Structure 1
Amino acid sequence: MLNITKNKLHEKVDLTQYASGKKVFNERNQKYFNRFLIVFGVILIIILLLPWTQTVAGKGYVTTLTPAQRPQTLQSPIPGKIEKWYIREGDFVEKGDTILHISEVKSEYFDTMIVDRTGDQIRVKRSSQESYEEKIQYLSNQVGSLQQERGLKTNQAENKLEQSKLKFKSDSIDLEAARTNYEIAQRQYNRMEALNEEGLKSTAEVENYRLKLQEAKAKEIAQENKVLASRNEIINAWIELNRIQAEYGEKISKTQSDRSTAESDLYQAQADISKLETDFANYDTRKGMYYIRAPQSGYINKAIKAGIGETFKEGEPLVGIMPSDYEIAVETYVDPIDMPLLHIGEKVRVQFDGWPAIVFSGWPNSSYGTYGAEIVAIENFISPNGKYRILLAPDEEEHVWPKEIKIGSGASTLALLEDVSIWYELWRQLNGFPPNYYTPESSTTSNEKKG
């Protein structure tokens, strides 16, 4: 009722005459209530002074410790068409078991004998390579024979040239002798003719010396012809020597050209063989890709491409598989404001979805149903969801995690920080401050050792 009058009701009416008034204004009840308030205040102060463990909450899911143990999809490195499935969803497969069979969709690989035919081409090319190698050897031998024959022919021509030079010298000496004989005969004829004019020699004797003069002249002319012939032989010998050099040079060059051509053909054959061997290896490897096999032991989750005759491109996922042997971990996400508070090796409490648990955030030792974990990795780049990713591994000093936990199930995490009073934690929460920043003892110890 609104207090809109100055008349005091309790001054005009005695409230103690009523039962409720008696209870309210009873001094004994007020004494109990005061005691209750005092006890409550003391308890509240004690509670506010109790220790409280600061935590960083996160939400994540169960994963594996190593990437190779996580669920994966199998792809085909080549395009193809599904021919036959050898498994059903949920089946367990061992490493190397055949999952499905595919066939070709590209026309250049339709030939089922392409590997054998490529092998035949390689054998033919190798025979051609051997033929080229033998041809090169024969041509090399021929070059050696021509060079040896050229040397012999050159020696023969040089000897003939030397003989021609010596003959020229001999004929030149004979020419000088014939000229000397002609001069002697000329002087004798001149003396005889002079004596004949004086009447001391007969005409017959003069005619006889004239005849000798003519014979000496004839011998001189004949010797000059021999000298010219010898000089001509020298020229011919030079020509023959040059001809031999040119002829055998041409033959050797032609043979070397044939050998170079054979070597080029040999290199081309080797290149063709290398290309065919690469094609053979690719075809043989591609032939082994027609059967998709399990890369590791695990369970078949889902057939992504299911229909018989369904085509697919290279790299498209065909079937999902979950490895059977794995070490579970928890992948959780924390806000950027809490990121500097976390360090590798710190303890974390984990609550798994669907697993019964009673959690006291500030008193982790009093919680039930949570399991110990340890931070093993902290991502240094923010995730698409605006938080930082933290990877947790089971704490070996705590209870073993339940085997019934499946990969992908949800998990809530509490990273344990330092202990503070409850009143301080309430004051921090009311003001929206982050937990206290601190450095773990292990980090401080290591820094002191470095210093």
Structure 2
Amino acid sequence: MWFLWLSLLFVVIMFLPWTQNIRANGKVTALRPENRPQELNAFIPGRIVKWYVKEGDYVYKGDTLVQMAEVKTEYLDPNLTDQVGKQIVAKNLSAEAYRNKADAALVQMNAMREARDLKLSSIDNKIVQQRLKISSDSADLAAAENALLAYTRQIDAAQKMLDEGAMSMVEFEKRRVNYQNGKAKVNSLDNKLNQSKQELLNLKINRNEVVQDYSEKLAKTEGERFASISSATSTEADIAKLENQLSNYAVRRDFLYLLAPQSGQVTKAKKAGIGEIIKEGDMIIEIVPEINEKAVELYIKPMDLPLISVGQDIRFIFDGFPAIVFSGWPNSSYGTFGGQVAAIESNTDANGLFKILVVPDPEEGEWPEMLKIGGGARGIALLKDVPVYYELWRNINGFPPEYYQFKPDETKAKK
């Protein structure tokens, strides 16, 4: 009878429903990257001067964690920013002097142009007067030449009359004196006309010399003006560079104090002691922020990945929390927690496994508040319901679970 009843019980058990599942190991993490453990690195090389916290302390955003001091020789001067500020003031005065020099050169150029115009106007007036004088001298020379022609005719007639005895020698000598005086006057007026023309030519040459002289002076002054403008521009560039350096020095001073970027617990102080040298980018300390949204990282084998989809139910056993698990009958298990797949990575890690992120199931209770980042978790992905005998047959033959594609509940989708 016992055998018959046990056989009947075994047959009944073989036909009971069994939930196929995939088991995977993982760890507790934060859903958002900014809530995960954060390494605080040194922005600049330095030397540790003072610690304001110790491992295990809870800090708030903006709290000072570590104070450092400079180790590079170019930043050791405690009055570095003041010295750079004085250089900026000196450069500003120099730039202002160059700008004033350029303005003075412009005023000087305008004065030179006015002086040149006045002098050219004076020379032009003299040229006009000289041309009038040349006209007058030309008219006098023409009149003297006409008089000389008359004297020439008279002397010729007087010579004939003297030869014929019709004119006395005295009268002839008078006419010859008039002829000589007329000829001398023509020569004198011709020389005077040539002298006037030469003076006109000299005035034109003088005008050209004035134009050339003032052009050279203006070009030289304009060159000095442009040189002053160039020097002022170069000095302003130096000022901008110094102001940039001053800002960088001020920001660099802030980097000597390592501040907490967010609230959390201090862990893993990699550097210790006073006076220890830190290189740029070295990890100093780690902060574990407050976890607002917990999640679990599970690592799935590539063979099981097609059976996992977003929104699928996952049961968890957390390290440190007692549980009684019946993997085939999840409703009969005790101490497990529900979750849903939130994301599936499309690339494997160094061990050839795919990572999935699982968040708490909103239909069930919250996960324990005592969960810490990095705590172990074992996940059970629930698949298709099959009879117990089929599951035994599948495991004996080494077949994979039935292909299962998660279909969300309509009521959950509506919610």
TM-score by length of 2: 0.91
Partner of 1:55: 21
Specify the code of the residue in structure 2 equivalent to 1:66.
R
Quick check: 1:297–1:325 contact (8 Å CA) kept in 2? no
Partner of 1:282: 248
Q: Match for 1:313 among 254, 279, 285?
A: 279
Report matched runs for 1:250-329 at 5 Å. 250-329=216-295
Deviations 1:284-328 (A, max 9, x none): 222222222211111111322111121121111112221135321
Report matched runs for 1:34-433 at 5 Å. 35-36=4-5, 39-40=8-9, 42-44=11-13, 46-47=15-16, 50=17, 52-433=18-399
Work out the CA distance in 2 between the residues paired with 1:187 and 1:439. 145
Structure 1 portions without partners, runs of 5+? 1-31, 443-451
Partner of 1:24: none
Compared with structure 1, are the counterparts of its residues 83 and 198 closer, same or farther at alpha carbon in structure 2 (3 Å cutoff)? same
Work out the CA distance in 2 between the residues paired with 1:365 and 1:349. 10
Say which is worse superposed, 204-213 or 193-202, in terms of deviation.
Answer: 193-202
The SS at the match of 1:381 is strand
Say which is worse superposed, 402-411 or 162-171, in terms of deviation.
Answer: 162-171
Deviations 1:152-198 (A, max 9, x none): 22333333333333433332333233222212221122122223323
Deviations 1:207-226 (A, max 9, x none): 22212211211111111112
- Structure 1 residue 117: Cα displacement: 1.4
- Structure 1 residue 37: Cα displacement: 7.5
Work out the CA distance in 1 between the residues paired with 2:195 and 2:260. 98
The SS at the match of 2:304 is helix
Deviations 1:219-276 (A, max 9, x none): 1111111221122122211211111111111111111121122122212211221121
Larger RCO of the pair (alpha carbons < 8 Å, separation 6+): 2
Specify the code of the residue in structure 2 equivalent to 1:170.
S
Work out the CA distance in 1 between the residues paired with 2:41 and 2:117. 71
Specify the code of the residue in structure 1 equivalent to 2:79.
M
* Structure exhibiting the larger radius of gyration computed from Cα positions: 1
- Structure 1 residue 388: Cα displacement: 0.7
Say which is worse superposed, 78-87 or 191-200, in terms of deviation.
Answer: 191-200
Work out the CA distance in 1 between the residues paired with 2:311 and 2:193. 115
Work out the CA distance in 1 between the residues paired with 2:200 and 2:306. 106
Partner of 2:412: none
The SS at the match of 2:19 is strand
Q: Percent identity?
A: 44
How many equivalent pairs are there?
Answer: 408
The SS at the match of 1:326 is coil
Work out the CA distance in 1 between the residues paired with 2:319 and 2:349. 23
The SS at the match of 1:380 is strand
Deviations 1:61-86 (A, max 9, x none): 00111111111222221111112212
Compared with structure 1, are the counterparts of its residues 161 and 371 closer, same or farther at alpha carbon in structure 2 (3 Å cutoff)? farther
Compared with structure 1, are the counterparts of its residues 223 and 413 closer, same or farther at alpha carbon in structure 2 (3 Å cutoff)? same
Work out the CA distance in 2 between the residues paired with 1:159 and 1:421. 128
Compared with structure 1, are the counterparts of its residues 35 and 303 closer, same or farther at alpha carbon in structure 2 (3 Å cutoff)? closer
